[in-house]
Chains A and B, each alone.
Chain A
Amino acid sequence: MTKNLAQRNYYGKALAELAARRDDIVVLDADLAGSTKTSDFRKAAPERFVEVGIAEQNMIGIAAGLAASGKTAFASTFGVFASGRCWEQIRLAVAYPRLNVKIVATHCGISVGEDGASHQALEDMAIMRALPNMTVISPADAYEAYAATMAIADYKGPVYMRMGRAEFPTITEEGAAFEIGRAKVMREGSDVTLIGCGQMVSFCLDAADILAGEGISAEVINMATIKPLDADAVIASAKKTGCCVTAEEHSIIGGLGSAVAECLCSSVCVPLEMVGTKDTFGESGSPADLLAKYGLTASDIAAAARKSVSRKVKA
C-alpha cells in the first residue's frame, strides 16, 4: 500500500542501522543534521559523527582525508550546498582520486518549497554527472532511499545521492534490493516510454493512468541511477515504443533528460520530450503550487507524452 514518506527519514534509518554493523562508517554534516536526518547516526554512533559547522568545502576535504584513511565517509547537507558550494573540492579531493566518499544531499528539487530559489537544487545532477568517477543516484521514494543507502555503503567509490525534503508517495516495495546502474520497469507499455527519477517516477505512473484513458499505452521506467545510465534499458524500451519522455525535478539542462538524450542520439533516434525546469530558478511557495507552476505534474508528463507520440515518424 502506498504511503506518504520522506526519503530523508529513511536515509537516517539506514545510517543508524549501518552504525551498528559497520565500524568503518563515519558521517559528516554541516550544521543540518536535524534536517538531513544524519542525527539518527549521531545518536547511534556519536564517536563517529563529525560536525563540521557551516563549512561545506572543509567538510569535503575532511571526508576525503577520512576515506583515504580507510573510512567510508558519508557527507550530508542540502543539495545546493552539497553539490555547488564545494564542487571543486569534490572534483579534486574525492572524484579525481576516486575516494570512498558518499555525498548524500537532501532538500533537492523545487518541492523544497517555501525557502525559495536559494535552497532549491535544480542543477546538482548536472554538475555532479559531469565529474569523472562520480556515480549519481536519485531514488524514487523513501524505501528506495533506504535501499540505495545500503547499496552505496557497499560500493567503493564516490557517489552523489539526492533526495527531496517533503513526504511523497511510496511506489517501490519495502525491502527490495537496490542495484546501482540498473533501471526498473515499473509498468509495461507499447506507445511511449516515460523515464523518471525521484518523486517524478510516481508522477510518471499517474501520467500513465491518464494516458491509458486516452488509449495510449505508456511504459514507465524508474531511472534511479542517472550515472552510469542504464543505456540498455533506455534503448530496449525506446525501440519498443518509438518515443520517450523524461521527467525530473531538476533543470532539463544536464540532468536525466540530457543523459537519456545523449544515449538516444547515438543509438535509437526517437522523439524525446523533457519534463523538468526550463532554464529558470524557482521561488517560494508550497511544493504543490511550485510543481504546478513549473510544469512538473502528472498532467505535464502526459502532455509531453502526447507530443512525443505525435512526433513519431509515420511509417
Chain B
Amino acid sequence: MVERGVPELENIANKLRLHVIEMTYAASSGHPGGSLSSADLMSALYFRIMKHDPKDPSWDGRDRFVLSKGHVAPILYAALAESGYFPVDDLITLRKIGSKLQGHPVRGKVPGVEMSTGSLGQGLSMSCGIALAGKMDGKDYRTFCLLGDGELQSGQNWEAAMFASQNGLNRLIAFVDRNRLQITGNTEEAVGLDPLPEKWRAFGWNVCTIDGHNIREIIEAVDRASASKKKPTAIIMNTVKGKGVSFMENNAGFHGRACNSEEYARAVAELREAIQ
C-alpha cells in the first residue's frame, strides 16, 4: 500500500467534513460540530495509521477503533465509506428509516463498526475489553478509542483508565477530542476537566498533548504510543469544534444541529474551496 502524505490526508479530512455537512443536512439532524473537530484524526487513522482491510472488516489482525463519542457517527461513517467499507452513496441515508446508518453507531449493522455506542462514557471500557483480549491471545493489534472531552465527566471512564494501567494495556490508545465545548457550553464552566494531562498521568497512562488538526503531530504521537511497552497512552488533541466551516467553529450551537439551507450552501462552498 502506498503511504499517503500529509497534504493528501488533509484533503481527505476536508472531504470527510463535506460528507458530514451533506449527511446531516439531508437528515435535518445529527452532530456536525464534534464530527468536524475529529475529521483530521479520522483521516489520519483510516487512511494512514490503522492496519485494516475494508474488504474484510472482521480480519483478525486489524487494528480496532471504538467511537466512544458515538454522536459523531457521521464522521465515522464518512471515513468508513471513503475507505471502502460500503458505498459512499449510502451516506445520504443517515438517520432515515431502514438505514444501516443509525443516529449512533451499531455493531453488526455497519461493516467496520466494532461496538455500539451513543451513551457516553462507555467506549473506553469496551476498548479495555478488546485490548485485553488481544493481550490474552498474544495478538499485536492496537485498540484506538476516541473520547469526547465533555464525556470525561462520566466516572466510568476513570474506572476504565485505572483498569487499563493496572493491566498494562500498552496497545490501547485513547484520543481525547479536546474542543472544550459541550452542549451547555464551555466544559470548564460545566464541570471542569483541567488539568487534563495530569489526570491521565495520575491514572498511570502515557500522555501527550498535540494540535488535533495537525496530521503530522497525530501520526508522530501514535508512533510513540505504539512503541509503549507497558502503559496505555492518552493523546489529548486540542481541537476546534466545527473546524473547517467558519461560522461553525467554536460554536456550541452546532453540537447537535444540522445546517439550515442558507448555512448549508455557505458550508459546502467553504469546504469545496478547501478541497483540492
**A interface vs B, CB < 8 Å?**
26, 47-48, 50, 52-53, 55, 57-58, 60-71, 73, 88-89, 92-93, 96-99
Residues of A within 8 A of B126 (CB): 61-62, 64-65, 68, 93
Contacts A63-B129, A68-B115, A93-B122 given; does A58 touch B159 at CB 8 Å: yes
Contacts A48-B136, A69-B133, A92-B116 given; does A60 touch B106 at CB 8 Å: no
Please tell me if B156 contacts chain A, counting CB pairs below 8 Å: yes
Please tell me if B125 contacts chain A, counting CB pairs below 8 Å: yes
For chains A and B in complex, what number of residue pairs have CB atoms within 8 angstroms?
A: 99
Interface of A is mostly: helix
Interface of B is mostly: helix
Residues of A within 8 A of B160 (CB): 58, 61-62
Contact A68–B163 (Cβ < 8 Å): no
Contact B156–A92 (Cβ < 8 Å): no
CB contact between B133 and one of A47, A55, A70, A92 (< 8 Å): that residue: A70
CB contact between B114 and one of A53, A68, A98 (< 8 Å): that residue: A68
Residues of B within 8 A of A92 (CB): 116-119, 122
Contact A97–B136 (Cβ < 8 Å): no
Please tell me if B128 contacts chain A, counting CB pairs below 8 Å: yes
User: Would you mind naming 26 contact pairs between A and B with Cβ atoms under 8 Å apart?
Assistant: A52-B159, A52-B163, A55-B162, A57-B156, A58-B160, A61-B128, A61-B129, A62-B125, A65-B127, A65-B131, A65-B133, A66-B130, A66-B132, A67-B129, A68-B114, A69-B129, A71-B136, A89-B125, A92-B116, A92-B117, A92-B119, A92-B122, A97-B108, A97-B116, A98-B108, A99-B107
- CB-defined interface of B180-219 with A at 8 Å, one 1/0 digit per residue? 0000000000000000000000000000000000000000
Contact A65–B116 (Cβ < 8 Å): no
Residues of A within 8 A of B129 (CB): 61-69, 73
Contact A61–B125 (Cβ < 8 Å): yes
With both chains docked as a complex, state the minimum distance between the C-beta of B65 and any C-beta of chain A, in angstroms.
12
Residues of A within 8 A of B118 (CB): 92
